[in-house]
């Protein structure tokens, strides 16, 4: 199975900050990497697919980059509604695997 490792596990940030979350795969997954946002009591939502493509309806302050084994999700100008847990997930192989999550909390 492909292991996905995110860092950090949690971070504190303020509204307006720029936040960066990294995700590392245990083997090359080309650009088969997706990012999700998950808020308590709600369903996860797809933000980024294929490493850098913005899902329809997702604000442009979310950007994804990377290929191979190292990926990044950047949130520019953090908004109050962005405080949530973020997960990366590979779509290169079965079984699909997720990172352990990064919780973005209010400073």
Residues in touch with another protein (CB under 8 A): 31-32, 34-36, 38, 43-46, 49-50, 53, 55, 87, 89, 91-101
CB of residue 103 vs another protein: minimum separation in angstroms? Answer: 10
How many angstroms separate the CA atoms of 107 and 96, rounded?
A: 33
CB nearer another protein, residue 78 or residue 97:
97
Q: Are 2 and 96 in contact (CB under 8 A)?
A: no
CB nearer another protein, residue 66 or residue 99:
99
How many angstroms separate the CA atoms of 83 and 85, rounded?
A: 7
Residues 16, 62, 65, 19, CA torsion sign: positive
CB of residue 58 vs another protein: minimum separation in angstroms? Answer: 10
């Amino acid at each position: 199975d492909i292991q996905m490792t995110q860092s950090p596990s949690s971070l504190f940030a303020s509204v307006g900050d720029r936040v960066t979350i990294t995700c590392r795969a245990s083997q090359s997954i080309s650009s088969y990497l997706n990012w999700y946002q998950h808020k308590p009591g709600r369903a996860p939502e797809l933000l980024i697919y294929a490493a850098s493509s913005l899902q329809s309806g997702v604000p442009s302050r979310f950007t994804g980059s990377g290929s191979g084994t190292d990926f990044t999700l950047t949130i520019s100008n953090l908004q109050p509604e962005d405080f949530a847990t973020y997960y990366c997930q590979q779509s290169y192989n079965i079984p699909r695997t997720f990172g352990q999550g990064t919780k973005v909390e209010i400073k």
